[in-house]
Amino acid sequence: MIEQAILEITAELSQAKNIVIVPHKGPDGDAMGSTLGLMHFLKDKGHKVNVITPNDYPRFLKWLPGNDEVIIYEKDKANAENLITEADLVFALDFNHLDRSGDMQQILTASEAVFIMIDHHREPSDFANYTYSDAEMSSTCEMVYHFIDKLRAVPKITPEIATCLYVGIMTDTGSFRFSATSAETHRVIADLIDKGAVNHEIHNNIFDTYNEDRLQLLGTALQNLRVKPKFKTAYISLTQEELDKHNFQKGDTEGFVNYGLAIENVIFAVIFIENKQEGIIKISFRSKGDFNVNEFARAHFEGGGHNNAAGGKSELSMEDTITKFSTILPDYKELQQ
């Protein structure tokens, strides 16, 4: 983000504003951490700020500071639409195409507010007045820290802000393991700890709050794991029936896809999750090294994301989706031994 843009945003923020902050549909740790972290920062500056998510998000994120103030568009449309209509400023965080905001796309498109996008996905669109886009960044939360730094306001980071930003950096880097984790990421994390993020409590709140059903569902997922050594690939499937049997709740399958990558020599891991209500199979793709799952998801499964983590969907049956997937694998030389 160029200096001129920062000066203009600083001027925007020098007066009290009505601000709305929006993450992508199906918000994850980075989406919720960045929106709530920025919410606290802007509220502390005296603005009126509302976080509006397109839909609900996982239970393991519902302890985040500020969670009680989040407005879920699907559940509170009239209120959300009023706030968006009245907003002077809209921050779009952790997504870079308005269609990732789900049913909020129309009302956001119609809004006359000044838009600021902060995001780390590839191929940004240009819907925003100010775009801070960097696909090399570990997470949008890390970018919100740098954004605050550009506003020369790092000393204003409170324990609440530090906690929220820590969460998104931790979840988007797979607890600081993925290749986008830089030395700078660790420096930011160190500063967030200095500013009051209690790292062991955060890890516990996110990762060690399974209920029995969720752990049993992981058992089913691991039993359904199939490995294709010839293509350095492993995939998991979960049918709606299997999800129902374990009283599936939003977020219960978060992280399951990574187990495929724990197998030696596997560089491509996939999970197919049936959603009967939407009539789709939701797919998550993960990889190690140079195999680009963003391109794979875009080319075959109407999706996208990052080089090593992407998502997509299929409207075929589970069986046909897996057949389609298996048929494509041989086209990728990088996957062959």
Give residues in contact with Mn ion (CB under 5 A). 30, 94, 140, 172
Binding status of residue 311 toward ligand 5GP by CB under 6 A = yes
Q: Which option in Mn ion, ligand 5GP, none does residue 305 bind, with CB closer than 5 to 8 A by kind?
A: ligand 5GP
Tell me the C-alpha distance between 21 and 23, whole Å: 7
Q: Which option in ligand 5GP, Mn ion, none does residue 310 bind, with CB closer than 5 to 8 A by kind?
A: ligand 5GP
Q: Residue 156 — φ and ψ, nearest 5°?
A: -85, 0
Q: Which CB sits closer to ligand 5GP, 13 or 32?
A: 32
Only one of the segments 72-80, 142-150, 189-197, 306-314 lies at the binding site for ligand 5GP (rule: CB under 6 A); that segment is 306-314
Q: What 3-state DSSP class applies to 265?
A: coil
Q: Which option in ligand 5GP, Mn ion, none does residue 119 bind, with CB closer than 5 to 8 A by kind?
A: none
Q: Which CB sits closer to ligand 5GP, 95 or 145?
A: 95
Run of H or E including 95: none
- Ranges within 9-38 binding ligand 5GP (CB under 6 A): 24, 28
Q: For residues 199 and 156, is the Cβ–Cβ distance under 8 A?
A: no
Q: For residues 305 and 293, is the Cβ–Cβ distance under 8 A?
A: yes
DSSP 20-42: EEE--SS--HHHHHHHHHHHHHH
Binding status of residue 303 toward ligand 5GP by CB under 6 A = yes
Q: For residues 280 and 311, is the Cβ–Cβ distance under 8 A?
A: no
Joined together, the tokens standing for residue 135 give 């696909």
Instruction: Select from 242, 251, 1, 275 the least CA-distant residue to 117.
Output: 1
Q: Which CB sits closer to Mn ion, 172 or 252?
A: 172
**Nearest-approach distance from CB 189 to Mn ion, in angstroms:** 15
Binding status of residue 168 toward ligand 5GP by CB under 6 A = no
Q: Which CB sits closer to Mn ion, 139 or 237?
A: 139
**Nearest-approach distance from CB 284 to ligand 5GP, in angstroms:** 3
Tell me the C-alpha distance between 54 and 40, whole Å: 20
Binding status of residue 169 toward ligand 5GP by CB under 6 A = no
Q: Which option in Mn ion, ligand 5GP, none does residue 303 bind, with CB closer than 5 to 8 A by kind?
A: ligand 5GP
Give me the helices (H) in the chain, please. 3-12, 29-44, 77-86, 105-110, 140-150, 159-172, 183-194, 199-207, 212-223, 240-245, 293-300, 318-328
Look up tokens 């075959």; give the residue. 300
**Nearest-approach distance from CB 215 to ligand 5GP, in angstroms:** 20
Joined together, the tokens standing for residue 140 give 């949008």
Only one of the segments 7-15, 108-116, 147-155, 307-315 lies at the binding site for ligand 5GP (rule: CB under 6 A); that segment is 307-315
Binding status of residue 304 toward ligand 5GP by CB under 6 A = yes
Residue nearest to ligand 5GP (CB): 311
Q: Residue 174 — φ and ψ, nearest 5°?
A: 55, 50
Which of 91, 118, 305, 314 binds ligand 5GP (CB under 6 A)? It is: 305
Give contact residues for ligand 5GP (rule: CB under 6 A): 24, 28, 284, 303-306, 309-313
